[in-house]
Amino acid sequence: MSRTLSRVDQVIHQFDNVLRTLVPGAAAASRPSPATSDIEDGEMSTEEREHAAGLMRINHTGEVCAQALYQGQGLTARLPEVRGQMEEAAQEEIDHLAWCETRLTELDARTSLLNPLFYTASFGMGALAGAIGDRISLGFVAATEEQVGNHLDEHLETLPPGDQRSRAVLRQMAIDEAHHAQQALEAGGARFPGPVKAGMTLMSKVMTSSVKRI
């Protein structure tokens, strides 16, 4: 039987989530990486490896933002079933976080130094959306996952032909993100209008352009 967490327990749990998200190597995937041992990379030049690492750094930071978003929303969501859905989706995003970090290590690259900044901003947006109402909160999830899906499609097109391991990771991530977006809409999430989505796209471009190399 589950028990209600005290305020202190909630603070400890939240701090643990922050550490698992931001500390390198702390995120543990619950599913095996799609980049299985039988998937091997082809030949890649130094420039191609650097380009692939930049894309995977963007995707890793995107997962940091997703974790912060879900954690912020889960903190302020009003309905228990909505909080539960946020927690389930967040666990799959932890998988993505760990997979991207592993792939960056394989490419001899690091995660972005700007992750704490984007985590803080995303947590605040998630908490605000949750406080406004579950319908808006779920709609924000759907719109965000749609944005992430668009980034993944672009990255799959621009990855070097030899980078088969990153490709396997991004394909599974795209499947999961589409599922999260559909779940959020089916749970009653609002469909955001075009201008709102355009603003979100602009913010995501700021993130992608800054973290690719930093």
According to the annotation, is 155 in a ligand binding site?
A: no
Architecture of domain 46-209: Up-down Bundle (1.20)
According to the annotation, is 177 in a ligand binding site?
A: yes
Helix residue ranges, H only, 77-133: 80-106, 115-132
Average pLDDT, the chain: 77
CA distance 138 to 188: 7
Helix (H, G, I), strand (E, B) or coil at 114: coil
- 49: pLDDT strictly greater than 80: yes
How would you write 46-87 as a 3-class SS string?
Answer: HHHHHHHHHHHHHHHHHHHHHHHHHHHHHHHCCCHHHHHHHH
pLDDT of residue 2: 42
CA distance 144 to 128: 15
According to the annotation, is 63 in a ligand binding site?
A: yes
What are the phi and psi torsion angles at 14 (to 5°)? Answer: -65, -40
Helix (H, G, I), strand (E, B) or coil at 204: helix
Q: Which tokens go with 2?
A: 């589950």
Give the model confidence (pLDDT) of 99-137 as tens digits: 999 999 998 998 888 888 888 888 887 777 767 777 777
CA distance 157 to 176: 18
Considering just the CA atoms, what is the radius of gyration of the chain in Å? Answer: 17
- 8: pLDDT strictly greater than 60: no
Give the model confidence (pLDDT) of 139-192 as tens digits: 777 777 787 888 888 889 899 998 999 999 999 988 888 887 877 777 777 776
CA 1, distance to chain mean position in Å, is 31
pLDDT of residue 1: 41
pLDDT > 70 in the chain, percent = 71
> Which position has the higher pLDDT, 188 or 62?
62
> Which position has the higher pLDDT, 79 or 191?
191
Window from 8-12, 20-24, 178-182 with minimum mean pLDDT: 8-12
pLDDT of residue 141: 76
According to the annotation, is 47 in a ligand binding site?
A: no
Average pLDDT (40-69) is 87
Which of 9-13, 146-150, 153-157, 203-207 has the largest mean confidence? Answer: 153-157
pLDDT of residue 165: 92
> Which position has the higher pLDDT, 202 or 191?
191
Average pLDDT (75-80) is 61
Domain ranges of the chain: 46-209
Of 143, 12, 123, the closest CA to residue 66 belongs to 123
Of 55, 52, 65, 75, the closest CA to residue 22 belongs to 65
Which of 59-73, 94-108, 200-214 has the largest mean confidence? Answer: 94-108
